[in-house]
Structure 1
């Protein structure tokens, strides 16, 4: 939180118009107040501070001889600065002076894959002796603003989605220094800014404490849910039964359960057995998506993707279609009671997400990133509990293989050994687990609702702070217009000088050099992956180098070219959209 000592900025100014960068700023005490309280002004961001984008990172300029620490957007979180991973790159003496952070600067995340995360702001309080910042960060150096009030103003611009609406881009949303400069904020008198910051900090600290307690409660509910699932998978959920093997069926037990030499191990519980999954039912990977299937319109059939499977639930907001023959439809059909398992994921702990199919969609198939398990021996709900426990314990992550994308594989899944109780006990376990999980969900929902109310209350405090409703105004105080008259405009943003290095190429030569690392076209990468992916993942799948600014630019140029012709964004959300190939783009 910001501490303010009530000292007004020094210096005197005079009424004048002066160019700030490329923006002409006129300070006029007679301007209309509009929707702001008496004595306030509505101003552009660049009228009350210096706005500067950071230095672009370039691997070609990395010599290690002029290294300096720098902030990235990743260092700016919703909770403030995270300085556990601060990188270094070369800055010349001139660049160090231009991009050095000073105490009281406000740093903002210039870009994000989520529009709602663009503009995350934090106050720099000199945490590191010398630190600069990259071009994924915008530095705002207050001139006519108390730093703490600048934070409140930027938070309001973000929560009201003005920053999100100003951001531009496909996949990655960019705010840009110029667009930030053009946003307007309400400017109170200097003395009132300090009182606003003090009162806002007091209230926000109380809400921060409530938020931390509710978040801790939600973590405990989540841990309780995993313990219920573990107890269900090991039989401990039924207290009247004999206790089973020591400890849960987790990492160590999972390793034993994949060892073929243990096939004849005696079960340690009356009526229970250990069996390979492949011995308990049929295991079938889904149909493989291909360009030929996308070209053919007739015979299109809905199918599930791994993205449709969440943690124990189905997300059917977007269900894709492709050509599937009658014979394939019969082979890759879905019936009530089938257990569906996400076979692959870019995140190891997401491999093995499972759900029980309840015939939510008629005549539906599934693609080859899903494993279908069908059995008359084991209850589907019990199987789902066991698979979930194996995933929570990390055992499925250890079994999965792959580089980048982790695959469970039908064969490895079939070799897993699981505890199998009698059918009557399976049903009793499922019933008790569902009862306890229902209670746990209710507690979690109550905590989640309370947490949402606290977050809304924080936004209300911020809104009140920037609209003059948080503290009373004082008669006779210097007005914002008089303050601007006295201070004058912020210092002009200097662009510095650039010299082209010997051998540096321009135009198409640079583009050719930037494309060298990319191995396949975006459409080919998506077809090969056979699923919808986020822009960030597509960037890596196509072989681009995230450390090369040139390749980042080339990626988005190619993406813009392909969008709406051969690629499209799927889903209703404007944030974190997935990209997929347009089925009829090949006709």
Structure 2
């Protein structure tokens, strides 16, 4: 391998150019204009391009060519700024001003060699040190990117480096894809465990089944179970509405809102406070065993439930959440299983009202939702079995996530080895 030199990116390009600023045109040629929305998993997604009428001058100036590199110039996520995507499409694309185009000198540098180098930790640190953040947006200038130092080998050795990285990445990508398949299978298994628990088919006991009295329930009840409704087996209540008049006062208390309630988990990383009078505390203070459900969410997460177990003493809740307090005929953990099943199956979504892309679950509609109720001892057995099975799922998920993190570390190790000149 030839000796490694370090040269600035600007010396390896025939040109660099920020993108097109206009968002519409009145005349010219309809041309697909690359946006941030067209970038997916480090590549250009050509499924839904947006065309803009461009003049012939604009087409000449902003059209991408195979071998060009497209650099993300501005984004709300720091981790995306400075990322470089090789342009490989045969379709005609221009690009908007969220990007910088780099056109490598093909007689000096391989564009894929540069693309791989821009994934390294060294370049990421350089970009993060030199980006500017304002009003929630992070920006790196063209001049800053042109000053990135690049380890330069002969073209032949660059191509050897690219080939070795691609070979190693291909193996790693296959392993990562397998891990994601495992995660998908675990998700399906978890959904099936919740469904079978809610419908009385989990324990494997020899059971007879009785004809369903709910035509749209989709299953018959096990013997000894009864149909009821959510409003008949527990108390439902919306939390208190937020208001500027509660932002300060003598009785400030923490409260939970939709951002704190995830599936089977209360997140206390972002807890806010407001003033609650003594009367309001008596109405809205949370008690261990309360189930909190998201009142407003995207449809697939509507009704997302978790049990409050006293994690935040003295906490109240807002009207972005619905509280369910189980009567003695229901074990709260069993109600949680049913509610989680209803979220995953879309049963809550069927009861929603949609406003501005947000689904809402009213107290009245939730109160009327059917609920298959087994005897309390059977509820307790189902809760124990669901917990046993899902604890195994959690352990496997944790191991999969750890392996995915290790895969990212391996990706950086492959790049570091390649660009130190120590590729095999």
TM-score (norm 2): 0.92
Alpha-carbon deviations, 1:376-403, whole Å to 9, x = none? 2211111111111111112222322132
Q: Secondary structure at the match of 1:337?
A: coil
5+ long unaligned stretches in structure 1: 1-36, 257-266, 472-587
Counterpart for residue 56 of structure 2: 93
Residue of structure 2 aligned with 1:283, choices 222, 236, 249: 236
- Residue 87 of structure 1: CA displacement? 1.2
> Aligned pair 1:39/2:40, yes or no?
no
Distance in structure 1 (CA, Å) of the matches to 2:50 and 2:122? 27
Distance 1:56 1:158, change over 3 A: farther
Deviating above 4 A after TM superposition, structure 1's stretches of 4 or more consecutive aligned residues are 243-247
2:200–2:221 contact (8 Å) kept in structure 1: no
> Aligned pair 1:396/2:348, yes or no?
yes
1:96–1:132 contact (8 Å) kept in structure 2: yes
Range 461-470 or range 300-309, more displaced: 461-470
**Greater relative CO, 1 or 2 (CA 8 Å, sep 6+):** 1
Alpha-carbon deviations, 1:83-110, whole Å to 9, x = none? 1111100111011111111111112333
Q: Which structure has more strand as a fraction of its residues?
A: 2
Counterpart for residue 12 of structure 2: 48
Q: Secondary structure at the match of 1:90?
A: strand
Distance in structure 2 (CA, Å) of the matches to 1:328 and 1:460? 56
> Aligned pair 1:460/2:394, yes or no?
no
> Aligned pair 1:57/2:22, yes or no?
yes
Distance 1:417 1:166, change over 3 A: farther
- Residue 417 of structure 1: CA displacement? 1.2
Q: Secondary structure at the match of 1:217?
A: helix
Distance in structure 2 (CA, Å) of the matches to 1:232 and 1:111? 48
Distance in structure 2 (CA, Å) of the matches to 1:244 and 1:449? 43
5+ long unaligned stretches in structure 2: none
Alpha-carbon deviations, 1:102-159, whole Å to 9, x = none? 111112333333211223432212331x221112222221124211111111111588
Q: Secondary structure at the match of 2:262?
A: coil
Q: What pairs with 1:165-314 in structure 2 (closer than 5 Å)?
A: 165-167=129-131, 168-242=133-207, 244=209, 252-253=216-217, 268-294=221-247, 296-314=248-266
Counterpart for residue 328 of structure 1: 280
Range 410-419 or range 73-82, more displaced: 73-82
- Residue 212 of structure 1: CA displacement? 0.9
> Aligned pair 1:83/2:36, yes or no?
no
Residue of structure 2 aligned with 1:69, choices 32, 42, 46: 32
Distance in structure 1 (CA, Å) of the matches to 2:125 and 2:264? 32
> Aligned pair 1:356/2:320, yes or no?
no
- Residue 440 of structure 1: CA displacement? 1.4
Distance in structure 1 (CA, Å) of the matches to 2:373 and 2:139? 53
Distance in structure 2 (CA, Å) of the matches to 1:116 and 1:280? 48
> Aligned pair 1:117/2:117, yes or no?
no
Q: Secondary structure at the match of 1:378?
A: coil
Q: Secondary structure at the match of 1:361?
A: coil
Counterpart for residue 104 of structure 2: 142
Residue of structure 2 aligned with 1:132, choices 94, 97, 121: 94
Alpha-carbon deviations, 1:349-405, whole Å to 9, x = none? 122111011100111101110111001221111111111111111222232213222
Q: Secondary structure at the match of 1:288?
A: coil
Distance 1:458 1:282, change over 3 A: same
Residue of structure 2 aligned with 1:368, choices 319, 328, 340: 319
Distance in structure 2 (CA, Å) of the matches to 1:356 and 1:244? 30
Q: Secondary structure at the match of 1:58?
A: coil
Distance in structure 1 (CA, Å) of the matches to 2:27 and 2:265? 50
Counterpart for residue 439 of structure 1: 392
Counterpart for residue 151 of structure 1: 115
Alpha-carbon deviations, 1:504-552, whole Å to 9, x = none? xxxxxxxxxxxxxxxxxxxxxxxxxxxxxxxxxxxxxxxxxxxxxxxxx
Counterpart for residue 293 of structure 2: 341
Q: What pairs with 1:517-536 in structure 2 (closer than 5 Å)?
A: none
1:233–1:386 contact (8 Å) kept in structure 2: yes
Counterpart for residue 508 of structure 1: none
Residue of structure 1 aligned with 2:332, choices 369, 380, 394: 380
Distance 1:410 1:388, change over 3 A: same
Distance in structure 2 (CA, Å) of the matches to 1:423 and 1:360? 26
Distance in structure 2 (CA, Å) of the matches to 1:350 and 1:110? 33
Distance 1:305 1:322, change over 3 A: same
Distance in structure 2 (CA, Å) of the matches to 1:191 and 1:314? 55
Distance in structure 1 (CA, Å) of the matches to 2:36 and 2:299? 25
1:67–1:88 contact (8 Å) kept in structure 2: yes
1:67–1:89 contact (8 Å) kept in structure 2: yes
Alpha-carbon deviations, 1:394-437, whole Å to 9, x = none? 22223221322221122221121111111111111110000000
1:116–1:158 contact (8 Å) kept in structure 2: no
